Amino acid sequence: MQSKIWLSSPHMGGKEKKFVNEAFDTNWVAPLGPNVNGLEKDLEQFLSPQSEIHVAALSSGTAAIHLGLILLGIKAGDEVICQSMTFSASANPIAYQGATPVFIDSEPDTWNMSPEFLEEAIKDRIAKGKKPKAIVAVHLYGMPAKIDEITTIADKYEIPIIEDAAEALGSNFHGRQCGTFGIIAALSFNGNKIITTSGGGAMVTHHDELAEKARFLSTQARDPAPHYQHSQIGYNYRMSNICAGIGRGQMEVLPQRVLQRRANFDWYKKHLADLDAIRFLEEPEGFYSNRWLTTVLVKHPVVTRETIRTALEKENIESRPLWKPMHCQPVFKDAPFYGDGTSEKLFNDGLCLPSGSNLTEGERDRILTEIKKVFN
Ligand SMILES: *Cc1c(COP(=O)(O)O)cnc(C)c1O
């Protein structure tokens, strides 16, 4: 059996161990310390070198979305709008709060939240007597959502946006970085993301007091007192100084990682150009994707995305169907949904190809050979 080709595996830049060793040498082996502060500064500089932005480093992207909902005051019985086609971590924190997710279908240009169905849903929920309290918008696979249209609608109805930029660090919309559009945004540094801290995430916000509040809540909400004093419920969501050391090393290579992921996309597109059955997702004008994963749609009378996926699997190559929409998940079967079937079609036809920034030329050739074989 040939060696495994992963969908997206960690790719160290070289400086990570230096920061981790510093943490050991100075005994900052704790969920606070110079690497945590340093990573926050690095991210702030990357996301918005010109204008003010604040980052709180956390234990995961899921924690960032959860704290975001808490900071916006989401409570049991509230409704929160959420993109349906996404990873479950976009929606689960809504349920943690005892709130109900209202799912919105995708549009075909970016596969993200449809502005049309977003507005339809807001109007309908208001007519039913319940105005949604927040909107969780996602930039799937690194492709920015139609964030200007979504923001216009959100502003019109005065509903705050939580931007799930877990897959989109390094993507931008007309030059403005993903993660800087919502009142609150979430980043993820899980092992499969474009950069990793092994596990980790961050909450991004333009408001200093929200970032401070996130740091406070993520360290068990301890009031200033010599003893342990609490006047609200806290969480253990802060990032470890060891993990943050990995993150500081990874930040040094982030721009390179974006280019490497984009090069994968270009390579697949060029070498699969002769197969009419395989379609790629192009960037609309002004949209810049980090191409976290290269995704294709398979449109063929006989070959399906499962034919390709299982053929690759036999050769020890990992690929994966697109995210199964949340409104099709058993756990969310009772949640309201607004759409026309676009995300279900994408799920049925779509496949994520191996997209690591560390893919070798030889590995890409192995993948290509297998895909071509399926069609011969
Ligand atoms: C990875 C991911 C998350 C969650 O991030 P974790 O750090 O794994 O908790 C949230 N949303 C999306 C879209 C993701 O891909």
Residue 150: which CATH number? 3.40.640.10
Q: Are residues 78 and 175 in the same domain?
A: yes
Q: Region 187-203: what's the mean pLDDT?
A: 98
CB 54 within 8 A of CB 263: no
Question: Atom of ligand 1 at shortest distance to CA of 90?
Answer: 11
Which amino acids bring their CB within 6 angstroms of ligand 1? 60-62, 86-87, 89-90, 138, 164, 166-167, 188, 190, 201
| pTM for this entry | 0.97
- Of 253, 275, 297, the position where a domain reaches its end is 253
Cβ–Cβ under 8 Å, residues 54 and 202: no
Distance of CA 361 to the CA centre of its chain: 27
- Nearest protein CA to atom 6 of ligand 1, as residue: 61
CA of 359 to the centre of ligand 1 (A): 22
The mean pLDDT of 81-102, rounded to a whole number, is 98
pLDDT in tens, 5-34: 999 999 999 999 999 999 999 999 999 999
CA of 192 to the centre of ligand 1 (A): 10
- The pLDDT score that the predictor gives to residue 327 is 98
Do 62 and 181 reside in the same domain of the chain? yes
Residue 3 lies in a domain: no
Q: Which atom of ligand 1 is nearest to the CA of 189?
A: 7
How far is the C-alpha of 286 from the C-alpha of 176, rounded, in Å?
10
**1 occurs within a structural domain:** no
Mean pLDDT within 34-44: 98
What is the 3-state secondary structure of 306-359? HHHHHHHHHCCECCEECCCCHHHCHHHCCCCEECCCHHHHHHHHEEEECCCCCC
93 lies in the same domain as 221: yes
Residue nearest to atom 2 of ligand 1 (CA): 166
Domain that holds residue 59: 16-253
Residue 9 falls within a domain, yes or no? no
Write down the H helix ranges in the chain: 16-25, 34-47, 61-71, 92-96, 115-127, 147-156, 208-218, 241-251, 254-271, 305-314, 342-349, 361-375
Mutate to test the pocket of ligand 1, among 69, 141, 164 (most ligand atoms within 8 A of CB): 164
Distance 325 CA to ligand 1 centre (A): 15
Do 120 and 220 fall within a single domain? yes
- Residue 371 DSSP SS3: helix
The arithmetic mean of pLDDT across residues 48-65, rounded, is 95
Check if the beta carbon of residue 289 is closer than 8 Å to that of residue 143: yes
Ligand 1 atom with minimal separation from the 140 CA = 13
Q: What spacing in Å lies between the alpha carbon of 313 and ligand 1's midpoint? A: 24
Ligand 1 center–CA 61 separation, angstroms: 5
* Residues 223 and 278 grouped into a single domain: no
Based on the fold, state whether residues 248 and 260 are members of the same structural domain. Answer: no
Residue 5 lies in a domain: no
Residue 360: CATH number of its domain: 3.90.1150.10
The count of domains in the chain is 2
Candidate of 60, 87, 139 to mutate for ligand 1, largest count of ligand atoms within 8 Å of Cβ: 87
Cα 173 to middle of ligand 1, angstroms: 20
Of the residues 253, 283, 315, the one at which a domain ends:
253
Give 116's contacts (C-beta < 8 A, 6+ positions apart).
107
Q: Which of 85, 184, 188, 240 to mutate to test the pocket of ligand 1 (most atoms within 8 A of CB)?
A: 188
| Same domain membership, residue 247 and residue 127 | yes
Alpha carbon of 26 to ligand 1 centroid (Å): 31
> Is 201 in the same domain as 229?
yes
Percentage of residues of the chain with pLDDT beyond 90: 98
Q: Is residue 31 part of a domain?
A: yes
- Nearest atom, ligand 1, residue 167 CA: 15
In a domain, 222, yes or no: yes
49 DSSP 8-state letter = S
Share of the chain above pLDDT 70, in %: 100
Which band of pLDDT confidence, cut at 50, 70 and 90, is reported for residue 51? confident
Task: Output the CA 252–ligand 1 centroid distance in Å.
Answer: 22
CA 110 to ligand 1 center in whole angstroms: 18
Per-residue pLDDT averaged across 61-85, rounded?
A: 98
Q: Which of 7, 62, 143, 195 to mutate to test the pocket of ligand 1 (most atoms within 8 A of CB)?
A: 62
SS3 content of the chain, % helix, strand, coil (to 5): 40, 15, 45
CA nearest ligand 1 atom 14, residue = 166
Check pLDDT > 90 for residue 1.
no
Q: Are residues 270 and 182 in the same domain?
A: no
Answer whether residue 221 is part of any domain: yes
Question: Does residue 7 fall inside a structural domain?
Answer: no
What tokens does 46 get?
A: 């990357």
User: Based on the domain organization, do 79 and 226 belong to the same domain?
Assistant: yes
> How far apart are the two ends of the chain, measured CA to CA in Å?
23
233 and 360, same domain (yes or no): no
Helix pair angle (34-47, 241-251), 10° resolution? 40
Asked if residue 166 and residue 36 are part of one domain, the reply reads yes
Q: Assess contact for 148 and 114: CB atoms under 8 A.
A: no
Last residue of a domain, one of 204, 232, 253: 253
**For 290, which DSSP code?**
-
pLDDT at residue number 376: 87
Q: Which atom, in ligand 1's list, is nearest to the CA of 89?
A: 10
The tens digit of pLDDT for each residue in 273-313 reads 999 999 999 999 999 999 999 999 999 999 999 999 999 99
Pocket test for ligand 1, best of 7, 112, 167 (most atoms within 8 A of CB): 167
CA dist., res. 333 & res. 317, Å (int): 32
